[in-house]
Amino acid sequence: MEGSSEGLGKGSEFSVHLPIASEADGHPAPKQSQAPADPSSTNRHRVLVVDDNTDTADAVAETAKDWGHTVAVAHDGATALELTPAFRPEIALVDIGLPQMNGYELARRLRRLDGMEAALIVALTGYAREEDRQKAREAGFNYHLTKPIEPARLKRLLATLEDVDRLT
> What Rg value do the Cα atoms of the chain yield, rounded?
23
- Helix H or strand E encompassing 143: strand 143-146
The one-character DSSP state at 97 is S
| pTM across the whole model | 0.74
Q: Is residue 39 part of a domain?
A: no
Please report whether residue 40 resides in a domain: no
The region, left, alpha or beta by phi > 0 then psi within -120 to 50, assigned to residue 102 is: beta
Separation in Å, CA 90 to CA 25, 60, 71, 135: 44, 16, 10, 22
Residue 109: CATH number of its domain: 3.40.50.2300
Q: How many domains does the chain have?
A: 1
Distances (CA, A) of 80 to 64, 88, 91, 116: 17, 11, 12, 12
Q: What is the pLDDT along the chain (168 residues), one digit of tens a residue?
A: 566 677 777 666 655 555 554 445 554 443 333 333 344 345 899 999 999 999 999 999 999 999 999 999 999 999 999 999 999 999 999 999 999 999 999 999 999 999 999 999 999 999 889 999 999 999 999 999 999 888 999 999 998 888 766 776
Domain extent for 88: 45-160
Residue 122 lies in a domain: yes
Determine, yes or no, domain membership for 27.
no
Q: Please tell me the predicted confidence (pLDDT) of residue 163.
A: 72
Predicted local confidence at residue 33, as pLDDT: 30
- The answer to the question of residue 32 being in a domain is no
C-alpha distances in angstroms, 23 versus 17, 32, 33, 137? 19, 14, 17, 44
| pLDDT at site 100 | 94
